[in-house]
């Protein structure tokens, strides 16, 4: 399994590079986050030993357990729904937390801002999560409320660094292109409202089944789990 993960990583990086070139960009303009949800530290370490440094987790419990067992030069992305009461344990246990990709309302933005200030760490990079598919089961601000939430992060949360937007396409991929194009439109609106360039606003979209398409539509961050690590394993019910 572990050797297979390193081989799969190389395949994903190559496919991402090819997709970036098709969209007229360089491969280093697209970041691959290896999502190690439910996978043991030993498998993550093998992917790390293959040269990868960017990893993501969906659950606070998992990242808090895994991060201290792994090298501190890993760039951790938290990509799952984040509850306010889990913010302090997350930030306290993972000093090398690079980014929270799932800021979906003002409450969680304020909580992150306050905790970052209280522990005295450098400003935390965040992405605003947008619900582009309109599914009630998904977190994220409505596209129409995206600019307002981004402005709140920029103007009201001095300990957060707004870095871009994130979305999750439909799990069956039926509306994926539409979802991705909606996020791209949100970026245009956000950049206009803030007076920044599109290069200053990341787009995190695309997972194992659609990351090449996402890159071709403009994604700068893709979150790849099962294609690198294999099917997820759920020995017991997980909580955020």
Overall average pLDDT of the 166-182 stretch? 82
Query: Closest Cα partner for 10 from 29, 30, 32, 28?
Result: 32
The domain that contains 29 carries what CATH number?
3.20.20.10
Overall average pLDDT of the 119-128 stretch? 97
Residue 133 included in any domain: yes
Amino acid 175: pLDDT: 65
Residue 234 included in any domain: no
Amino acid 235: pLDDT: 61
Overall average pLDDT of the 96-106 stretch? 98
Q: Which domain covers residue 158, as residue numbers?
A: 3-224
Residue 239 included in any domain: no
Q: Is residue 117 over pLDDT 70? A: yes
pLDDT in tens, 204-222: 999 999 999 999 999 999 9
Q: How many structural domains does the chain have?
A: 1
Residue 39 included in any domain: yes
Q: Is residue 40 over pLDDT 60? A: yes
Residue 230 included in any domain: no
Residue 116 included in any domain: yes
Residue 229 included in any domain: no
Residue 237 included in any domain: no
Amino acid 1: pLDDT: 47
Q: Is residue 199 over pLDDT 50? A: yes
Give the pTM: 0.93
pLDDT in tens, 127-165: 999 999 888 888 899 999 999 999 999 999 999 999 999
Give the whole-number percent of the chain exceeding pLDDT 70: 94
Q: Is residue 234 over pLDDT 80? A: no
């Amino acid at each position: 399994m572990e050797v297979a993960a390193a081989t799969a990583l190389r395949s994903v990086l190559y496919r991402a590079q090819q997709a970036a070139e098709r969209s007229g960009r360089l491969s280093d303009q697209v970041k691959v986050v290896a999502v190690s949800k439910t996978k043991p530290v030993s498998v993550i370490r093998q992917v790390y030993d293959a040269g990868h440094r960017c990893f993501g987790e969906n659950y606070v419990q998992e990242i808090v357990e895994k991060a201290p067992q792994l090298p501190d030069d890993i760039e951790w992305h938290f990509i799952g729904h984040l509850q306010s009461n889990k913010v302090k344990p997350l930030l306290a246990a993972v000093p090398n937390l690079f980014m929270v990709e799932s800021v979906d309302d003002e409450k969680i933005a304020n909580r992150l801002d306050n905790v970052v200030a209280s522990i005295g760490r450098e400003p935390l990079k965040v992405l605003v999560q947008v619900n582009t598919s309109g599914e009630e089961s998904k977190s994220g601000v409505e596209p129409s409320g995206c600019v307002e939430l981004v402005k709140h992060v920029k103007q009201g949360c001095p300990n957060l660094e707004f870095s871009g937007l994130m979305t999750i396409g439909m799990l069956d991929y039926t509306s994926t292109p539409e979802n991705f194009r909606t996020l791209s439109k949100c970026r245009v609106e956000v950049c206009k409202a803030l007076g920044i360039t599109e290069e200053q606003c990341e787009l995190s979209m695309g997972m194992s089944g659609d990351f090449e398409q996402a890159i071709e539509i403009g994604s700068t961050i893709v979150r790849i789990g099962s294609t690198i690590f294999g099917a997820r394993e759920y020995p017991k019910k997980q909580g955020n």
